[in-house]
Amino acid sequence: MLHKLLSVSLAIVALQGSAKASTWELDAAHSSIGFSVRHMAISNVRGAFTGASGTLQMDEKAPARSTVEVDVEVKSIDTRNDKRDDHLRSPDFFDAAQFPKMHFKSTKVEKAGKAYRLHGELTMHGVTKPVVLAVETTGKSTKDPFGMTRMGFTATGKLNRKDFNLNWNKAIEAGGLMVGDEITLNIDAEFVHKQSVEAVGKNAEPPAGSPAPKKDK
């Protein structure tokens, strides 16, 4: 009997905790999934993925219970050089035709001073590996002029591209290699509260670049 009562109590606590979470959708038009990599050991080349979608389940009273899941379109890579971008989409690197999306799913959130450590699993190029991001909020949530509630975050981290079988390289005459192995991530993410998007959609069209409200079937 005690065991059953304990199980029921834990279930109630879990339901109460989950009820506090609110749903936020990634606004890709106001977000940047950026990266940089060493070029010929003398400079950094920067780029970003412009196509992404994602959902944040935010528990503002207990942020450690929050979760986030994001999909990134590999073909949306942009390094400001068309030939380089085409090469990065090719089988030498990301092979966007065979692996069109990257996927990140959080597994744990830890408090780290005023910031957080976001643990998760990143699937890229058909390989899934754990990654850790340092995350900070850019301020409290706020309403835009159209009535939609927004919240922003920055995230940074590092990963080794060879862990994901992104192995292409070329030796240079002066010694060393054309492309570095360590990738630095610099992410600016803006999320919109789902209920506020739906509320705006009932009365007016949201501004350009904002997530379109989903229609009921």
| Selected residue with higher pLDDT from 9 and 211 | 211
Hey, what are 213's tokens? 């409200």
Specify if 14 maps to a domain. Answer: no
Specify if 4 maps to a domain. Answer: no
**Whether 96 contacts 75, CB under 8 Å:** yes
Specify if 97 maps to a domain. Answer: yes
Tokens 């890579």, residue located: 77
Residue 167 is part of a domain; what is its CATH number?
Answer: 2.40.128.110
Alpha carbons 40 and 169: distance in angstroms, whole number: 10
Specify if 8 maps to a domain. Answer: no
Q: Does residue 176 surpass a pLDDT of 70? A: yes
CB-side neighbour CA atoms (13 Å) of 4: 1
Q: Give the pTM.
A: 0.81
Mean pLDDT (the chain) is 86
Confidence of residue 125 (pLDDT cuts 50, 70, 90): very high
Q: What is the pLDDT of residue 214?
A: 55
Confidence of residue 196 (pLDDT cuts 50, 70, 90): confident
Confidence of residue 18 (pLDDT cuts 50, 70, 90): very low
Specify if 1 maps to a domain. Answer: no
Specify if 129 maps to a domain. Answer: yes
Specify if 132 maps to a domain. Answer: yes
DSSP assignment of 61-99 equals S-GGG-EEEEEEEGGGEE-S-HHHHHHHHSTTTT-TTT-
- Quick one: average pLDDT of 68-96? 97
For 152, the domain range is 21-203
With CA atoms as reference, report the closest residue to 70 among 148, 124, 111, 113.
Answer: 124
Give the chain's domain count: 1
Specify if 83 maps to a domain. Answer: yes
